[in-house]
Chain A
Amino acid sequence: MTVKLRQALQERIFKQMEATFPNEGGGFLLGTKQGAEILIEDVIQIENVFETEEQYHRYAMTPQNWMKMEDEADARHLTLVGYYHSHPNHVAIPSDYDCEHALPNFIYIITSVMEGQAADMLAWELSQDRRKFDSRRLEIL
């Protein structure tokens, strides 16, 4: 599986993550799936609704966010292909917490933000048996 992301969208994610630092930020990925490729067509910033004092290491959206975005994706003839969030001052590798709250067949893009600067971006997908995340190739267009 290869995930393709336009540079302008990557920059938009980086700017958002740097702006929310030292807290976590995130949003949805809308795109299209064709065979073993996912092309991300849009990134939608979603407010972090976790308790404010926990946002330095936690990110959450509401179920209503999901409903609205899934309906919007349908209306735009796109697919809700994944979500992105940041790891402030930490590597872009999924945590056990990420794994426990994840679904397969969904792309998880994590941005590492070190001292306020976006430093790395990696793409992941939960294995079918839910035991681990597998790395996915991220191609910047």
Chain B
Amino acid sequence: MANIKIPTPLRAYTDNEAQVTAEGSTVAELLQNLIQQYPDLEQHLFNEGKLRSFVNIFLDDEDVRFLDGVDTEVAADDELRIIPSIAGGLD
């Protein structure tokens, strides 16, 4: 069981909880368990089964893209944080 911090706009889908727990031994398993608990999160985190490009997962302040991506192993007391990359502009 690891803790996951939810970004402010998505707390509307976690009963307004900023911090939730999920089960799994990798980032992918934890995220899968998270969206099983809170299905409305899925479309905002994933697109066609893949993490959206602007969604970053940090494990104890390190971007998992620089570890083993969603295959990164997670210990029971680790802190995961979901962080959107804010971007905007003209087409």
User: Interface on A for B, CB 8 Å cutoff?
Assistant: 24, 26, 50, 57-63, 65-67, 70, 73-74, 79-81, 83, 85, 87, 90, 94-98, 100-101, 103-106, 108, 110, 129-130
Q: Contact between A105 and B12 (Cβ–Cβ < 8 Å)?
A: yes
- Which residues of B, 1-41, contact A by the 8 Å Cβ criterion? 7-12, 18
| Interface residues of B, dominant DSSP | mixed
B49 at the interface (CB under 8 A from A): no
User: Quick one: closest A residue to B89, CB to CB?
Assistant: A58
What are 15 residue pairs bridging A and B, where the CB atoms are less than 8 Å apart in the complex? A24-B89, A26-B86, A59-B87, A62-B85, A63-B83, A85-B88, A95-B88, A95-B90, A101-B54, A101-B85, A104-B9, A104-B44, A106-B9, A129-B43, A130-B43
Q: How many A-B residue pairs have CB under 8 A?
A: 93
Chain A residues closer than 8 Å to B86, beta-carbon distance = 26, 60-61, 65-66, 83, 101
Chain A's nearest CB lies how many Å from the CB of B52? 9
Q: A61-B86, A87-B89 are in contact. List 13 more A-B contacts (CB 8 A).
A: A50-B89, A59-B89, A67-B81, A70-B8, A74-B18, A97-B90, A101-B54, A101-B85, A103-B10, A104-B44, A105-B10, A129-B43, A130-B44
How far does the alpha carbon of A73 sit from the alpha carbon of B56 in the complex, in Å?
A: 20
User: In whole angstroms, what is the CA distance A65 to B89 when docked?
Assistant: 18
Output the nearest chain A residue to B40 by Cβ-Cβ distance: A128
Measured between alpha carbons, how far is A59 from B90 in the docked complex, in Å? 9
Q: Which 3 A-B pairs have the closest CB atoms?
A: A106-B9, A58-B89, A63-B83
- Are B91 and A96 within 8 A (Cβ)? yes
B8 touches A80 (CB 8 A): yes
